[in-house]
Amino acid sequence: MTTKPPVDDVTDDHIEVGKPRTWAAGVPGITHSMGPALTQMGVRRSLKTLTAMNQKDGFDCMSCAWPDPDHRTTLSFCENGAKALTWEATPVKVPSSFWAEHSIADLLTKSGYWLGMQGRLIEPVHKPAGKDHYQPISWDDAFLIIAEKLKGLDSPDQAAFYTSGRTANETAFIYQLFVRAFGTNNLPDCSNMCHESTGYAMGQTIGIGKSTVSYGDFAKADLVIIMGQNPGSNHPRMLTALEEAKEAGADIVAINPLPEAGLIRYKNPQRVKGILGKGTALADQYLQIRLGGDMALMQAISRRVLDAETAHPGTVLDHQFLKEHCHGLEELTAHLARLDERAVLAATGLRAEEIDELAARYLKADKVIITWAMGLTQHKKAVPTIKEIINLLLLRGNIGKPGAGASPIRGHSNVQGDRTMGIWEKMPPAFLDAIEKEFGFAPPREDGVDSVAAIRSMRDRHLKVWIALGGNLAAAISDTAIAEAALRSTEMTVQISTKLNRSHVIVGDEALILPTMGRSEIDMQASGPQFVSVEDSVCAVHSSRGRIDPVSPSLLSEVSIVTRLARAVLGDRVAVDWAGFEGNYDLIREHISHVVKGCANYNQLIRQEGGFILPHGPRDSRTFPTPSGKAMLTVNQLEHIDCPPGRLLLQSMRSHDQFNTTIYSLNDRYRGVKKGRRVVFVNPDDLAELDIADGDFVDIYNEWHDDTDRSVKNFRVIAYPTARGCAAAYFPEANPLVPLESVAEGSNTPASKSVVVRLEPSQ
Ligand SMILES: Nc1nc2c(c(=O)[nH]1)N[C@H]1C(S)=C(S)[C@@H](COP(=O)(O)OP(=O)(O)OC[C@H]3O[C@@H](n4cnc5c(=O)[nH]c(N)nc54)[C@H](O)[C@@H]3O)O[C@H]1N2
Ligand SMILES: Nc1nc2c(c(=O)[nH]1)N[C@H]1C(S)=C(S)[C@@H](COP(=O)(O)OP(=O)(O)OC[C@H]3O[C@@H](n4cnc5c(=O)[nH]c(N)nc54)[C@H](O)[C@@H]3O)O[C@H]1N2
Ligand SMILES: [Mo]
C-alpha cells in the first residue's frame, strides 16, 4: 500500500519568500511563532511552566541538549525551548470519541502538523489485527496484549525497542534492563541517525565519544570554529555562550554551505543592547563550504600547520603533548605531505586564500574549540571527517586544556544520557558484566540492531515487534517508502508517546499507543513526587522535576509504563524490584550508582545544587582510554562526492519552526520562508545553468543505483545564496530521497546531508 502525501503539506502554492535574515534572536519569536500552541495553553499555565523551565528546582528544557550556565536567569529558555514546552504542556486532549471518528486510513491523509495539534494523548488505545481503528482499552489490558505477543515470539531478537533522546536517565536505565532481561540487545535509538558518527570517530581516536569541553571553556577560548551546525535555530542558547566568548576576545569562524542568520549576528533578548541595538556580530570568518567538503578542509588546515612547523621548527606543534599523549604523528605528517591541493579546492569549493586565512587564525590561537552537529555526522565520510577534526586539535594540544577542545553539540535533551545509561545496541562488555553482577542474570552478548538495521530486518520479515519509547521513526528514518512498508510488515507496533505523530498511523497488524506524561508534569508515585535526571552535551548531569499537573490523571509516567510492562512480560524471571522502582526512583538511582561508570553515589550527587559533571579522562587529565592509552592521530583517505553534470548535492535540514519531526508552524523565519515547507533552496548560478527560475515548481529525483523510484513532487524553488552545486530541503519532507543503504561508513547513520539529485519541472 502506498500512502498519498498528507494534505496540508502539499498545498504549497501559498508559500511566501522574503529575504533571508542576517541576525538571530529570541524575542520576536516568542511573540510571533508560538501563536497556536500558546492560545491552546492559556496565559496562566504558560507562565507557570515557562518560569519553571531550566531553573534549579524546575525541569530541564525538553528541546536541545545545550548546557545550562551556572548563572541562570529567571527566563532561562529560548524561543525554541518555549515552543517545545507549549507544544507539550497544552491542556488540549485527544477525546475518546476521536478514535471512532478517525480511521487509520483517514489519519494517514493528515499532516504531522495536524496530528500534533490534536492535543495530548490521554488513554491507551489498541488497534486489533484486521481493524482500521484504534479503540480505547485499559492499561492492564494494554500491558497484557503486549506481554502475550512478546512471550509468543520464537526469539527475543524478533523484537526491537527504540528510544528517542528525550527519555530521562532513570527510565533509560530500567528500559535497557528490561530489554536485556527479556533477552535482546535490539536497542536502536535516535542517536543512530544523529551523532553516532561522532561517537565512533571520537571513541576510536580519544577513547570517549563525548565533548571534551565544559560550559565555561567557551569564554576562555581564543577561537571557536562552528562546523555543520545551525545554533540560531537548533541550539539558540548557545548564541549567548558565543556572545560571551566574543566579548572575552575570541574569534569565531563558521563553516557552513548556508549563510545561517544565527552565525552572523546575535541580538540577545535578555540584554537591552540585544533588543534595541544591532546586537553582536558573531562570525569573523564565514566559509561557505561545499556539502561534504569538511574532511578536505580539515586536512588542508592540518597540512598548513605541519608546513608552518617545517618553516619554524619547534614552535608550532605542541611537541610535549604529542610525545606524551599521542600516537601516529609520523604517519599523519607523511600522509598530509601528499595532500592534493586541487582536490581540496574541488571538495570544499573554497578559495585557497580562505583556507589560508582560517589556518592563520588557527595558528594564532592558543586555545581552540571546534563544535559540530548534523552538517558533519550525516555524510558518507562523516567518521573520517570527525577524525580529521581530532587530528587538527591534537597537533597543537587543543584537547584537555582550558578553553580548548572538541565539542559535538548533541540534539535531543537527553540523548547523551540515554547512551550513558546503556541505550545502545552494542554496549561494551564491561557494562554488560556490571549488569550481570548487579542483577544476577546473564544479558545477551551479541550486538543488536540499530535504526537502519531494524528497518532492514522488518523488511526482511525477521523483526516482528517494534516498541518505541518516544520518537517518530516512520518520519525520522531515511527512505520513507521502504521504511513505511517495513513498519507495516510487522506483527505489532507499540508507541509510548505524548502526542500523535506519523508513526502512530504507520502500523503493524496490531498496534498500541501508550500515552505518557511529559517532563514538565508532576510525577506523583507511592513515595511522593519524583524527579528524574538528564545529561547535557558537556557531560553535566542534573535533576529535572515536573511542576504542572499532568494533563490527565489517567496518564502514567514513563517509569510506570516501563516497570509495568517489565512485570507483565518477565513475571519473576529475574530478581528485579520493578514495583519498588515505580514507587521510588531513588531505588533505580541506587542501581545506576553500582552499574554506570562515574555515577557512584548518584542519589547524593544528583541532589547537589546544579548536579554534577561526569568524569572524562581526556578533558580532566589528558588520559585517553584507547587500547594504546594514547590519543590516536589517524590517516584518512580523502574522498568527496563528484556530482555528475546537471545534478546537485542536496542536504535535508531543519527549519526554524520544527523540532525534528514535530512541525510547530510552516514558517522558517530566518531563511525568509513563510507558509510552506515543500521548498528547495538552490544557488542562483546553478539555477541559471539548469534553466530553472526562482518560484518554479520542480520534482526532485535521486538516481541511486537500484530500481527504486526515489522522488518528491512539487517543491517550490528558492534562489538562495548556498554554496555552488549544493541544494537544501527540509527533513522529513526530503526523507523519501535518502536511500536506506546510503549511510556513513562505520556508524551506519543515514547520509541525509549528501543526496545527489536531479530537478525536473513539475507537470
Ligand atoms: N528548535 C530545534 N532545536 C533542535 C532540533 C530541532 O529540530 N529544532 N533538533 C535537535 C536535534 S535532535 C539535533 S541532532 C540538533 C541538530 O542541529 P543542527 O545540526 O544545527 O541541525 P540541521 O538543521 O540538520 O543543520 C545542519 C547545519 O549544518 C549545515 N551543513 C549541512 N551539511 C554540511 C556540510 O557538509 N558541511 C558543513 N560545514 N555544514 C553543513 C547546514 O547548512 C545546517 O546549517 O538540534 C537539536 N535542537
Ligand atoms: N533527512 C533527515 N532525517 C533525519 C535528520 C536529518 O537531519 N535529516 N535528523 C535525524 C536526527 S538528528 C534525529 S535525532 C532523528 C529524530 O528521531 P526521533 O527522536 O525518532 O523523532 P522526534 O521527532 O524527535 O520524536 C518526536 C516524538 O516523540 C514523542 N515525544 C515527545 N516528547 C515525549 C516524551 O516526553 N516522552 C515520550 N515517550 N514521547 C515523547 C512525540 O510523540 C513526538 O511526536 O531524526 C533523524 N532524521
Ligand atoms: Mo539528533
Per-residue 3-state assignment (H helix, E strand, C coil) for 86-137: HHHCCCCECCCHHHHHCCHHHHCCCCHHHHHHCCECCCCEEECCCCCCCEEC
As a whole-number percent, the residues of the chain with pLDDT over 90 amount to 83
Report residues whose beta carbon is within 6 angstroms of any ligand 1 atom: 63-64, 80, 194, 227-230, 233-235, 255-258, 260, 289, 291-292, 294, 373-375, 379, 411-412, 651, 653-654, 658-660, 753
Distance 194 CA to ligand 3 centre (A): 4
Residue 103 has pLDDT above 90, yes or no: yes
- The string of pLDDT tens digits covering residues 397-407 is 999 999 999 99
Q: Which of 63, 193, 374 to mutate to test the pocket of ligand 1 (most atoms within 8 A of CB)?
A: 374
The ligand minimizing its distance to the Cα of 87 is 2
For residue 88, the model assigns a pLDDT of 83
Q: Average the pLDDT over 273-293 and give the result.
A: 85
For residue 550, the model assigns a pLDDT of 95
Q: Average the pLDDT over 45-60 and give the result.
A: 69
For residue 314, the model assigns a pLDDT of 97
Is 501 in contact with 472 (CB distance < 8 Å)? Answer: yes
> Does ligand 2 come within 6 angstroms of the Cβ of 293?
no
Work out the pLDDT band at 60, boundaries 50, 70, 90: confident
Identity of residue 165: G
- Parallel/antiparallel/unpaired status of strands 465-469 and 159-163: parallel
Place of cell 583556507: 355
> Which domains occur in the chain, in start order?
97-191+414-619 (3.40.50.740), 196-409 (3.40.228.10), 648-761 (2.40.40.20)
Is 500 in contact with 115 (CB distance < 8 Å)? Answer: yes
Q: Is 243 exposed, middle or buried (0-12, 13-18, 19+ CB in 10 A)?
A: buried
For residue 4, the model assigns a pLDDT of 42
Distance 292 CA to ligand 3 centre (A): 18
- The string of pLDDT tens digits covering residues 433-473 is 999 999 999 999 999 999 999 999 999 999 999 999 999 99
Place of cell 525538553: 62
Residue nearest to atom 43 of ligand 2 (CA): 471
Work out the pLDDT band at 755, boundaries 50, 70, 90: very high
Distance 644 CA to ligand 1 centre (A): 26
Identify which of 262, 417, 329, 297 has the alpha carbon closest to the alpha carbon of residue 631: 329
For residue 762, the model assigns a pLDDT of 96
Residue 1 has pLDDT above 60, yes or no: no
> Does ligand 2 come within 6 angstroms of the Cβ of 412?
yes
For residue 252, the model assigns a pLDDT of 97
Q: Average the pLDDT over 385-405 and give the result.
A: 98
Between residues 13 and 256, the one the model is more confident about? 256
Cα torsion 578, 521, 503, 29: sign: negative
| Cα separation, 407 vs 301, whole angstroms | 18
Q: Which of 34, 63, 64, 381 to mutate to test the pocket of ligand 1 (most atoms within 8 A of CB)?
A: 64
Q: What secondary structure does DSSP assign to 291-328, as a single string?
A: TT-HHHHHHHHHHHHHHHHHHSTTSSS-HHHHHHHEE-
For residue 151, the model assigns a pLDDT of 98
For residue 299, the model assigns a pLDDT of 98
- The string of pLDDT tens digits covering residues 173-185 is 999 999 999 999 9
Q: Average the pLDDT over 553-580 and give the result.
A: 97
For residue 485, how many other CB atoms are within 10 A of its CB?
Answer: 17
| Cα separation, 617 vs 367, whole angstroms | 19
For residue 697, the model assigns a pLDDT of 97
Q: Average the pLDDT over 613-639 and give the result.
A: 97
- Enclosing H/E stretch for 650: strand 648-653
| Cα separation, 133 vs 151, whole angstroms | 25
From first CA to last CA, the distance across the chain in angstroms is 24
Distance 656 CA to ligand 2 centre (A): 15
The ligand minimizing its distance to the Cα of 374 is 1
> Does ligand 2 come within 6 angstroms of the Cβ of 692?
no
> Does ligand 2 come within 6 angstroms of the Cβ of 166?
yes
At 387, list the grid cell. 577524525
Length of the chain: 763
Residue 30 has pLDDT above 60, yes or no: no
Distance 671 CA to ligand 1 centre (A): 14
Ligand 2 atom with the smallest distance to the CA of 735 is: 1
Residue 54 has pLDDT above 90, yes or no: no
Distance 652 CA to ligand 1 centre (A): 9
Q: Which of 34, 80, 195, 230 to mutate to test the pocket of ligand 1 (most atoms within 8 A of CB)?
A: 230
| Cα separation, 87 vs 66, whole angstroms | 19
- Tell me the range of 41-50, 466-475, 542-551 where mean pLDDT is highest: 466-475
Work out the pLDDT band at 59, boundaries 50, 70, 90: confident
- Parallel/antiparallel/unpaired status of strands 223-227 and 159-163: unpaired
At 396, list the grid cell. 597543537
Identity of residue 211: S
Residue 355 has pLDDT above 90, yes or no: yes
Residue 270 has pLDDT above 80, yes or no: no
Q: Which of 229, 242, 297, 673 to mutate to test the pocket of ligand 1 (most atoms within 8 A of CB)?
A: 229
Residue 394 has pLDDT above 90, yes or no: yes
For residue 42, the model assigns a pLDDT of 67
For residue 420, the model assigns a pLDDT of 97
For residue 10, the model assigns a pLDDT of 42
| Cα separation, 219 vs 471, whole angstroms | 34
Residue 706 has pLDDT above 70, yes or no: yes
The ligand minimizing its distance to the Cα of 63 is 1
- SS3 breakdown of the chain: % helix, strand, coil, rounded to 5? 40, 20, 45
Distance 28 CA to ligand 1 centre (A): 22
Identify which of 337, 290, 331, 276 has the alpha carbon closest to the alpha carbon of residue 309: 337
Is 562 in contact with 178 (CB distance < 8 Å)? Answer: yes
Work out the pLDDT band at 12, boundaries 50, 70, 90: low
The ligand minimizing its distance to the Cα of 478 is 2
3-state secondary structure 28-41: HHHHHCCHHHHHHH
Residue nearest to atom 18 of ligand 1 (CA): 229
Calculate the average pLDDT of the chain. 92
Ligand 2 atom with the smallest distance to the CA of 194 is: 12
Ligand 1 atom with the smallest distance to the CA of 378 is: 32
> Does ligand 2 come within 6 angstroms of the Cβ of 518?
yes
C-alpha dihedral, 489 to 495 to 501 to 502, nearest 10°: -10
As a whole-number percent, the residues of the chain with pLDDT over 70 amount to 92
Residue nearest to atom 32 of ligand 1 (CA): 375
- The string of pLDDT tens digits covering residues 197-213 is 999 999 999 999 999 99
At 252, list the grid cell. 569565531
Residue 422 region by backbone torsions, left for phi larger than 0, else alpha for psi between -120 and 50, else beta: left
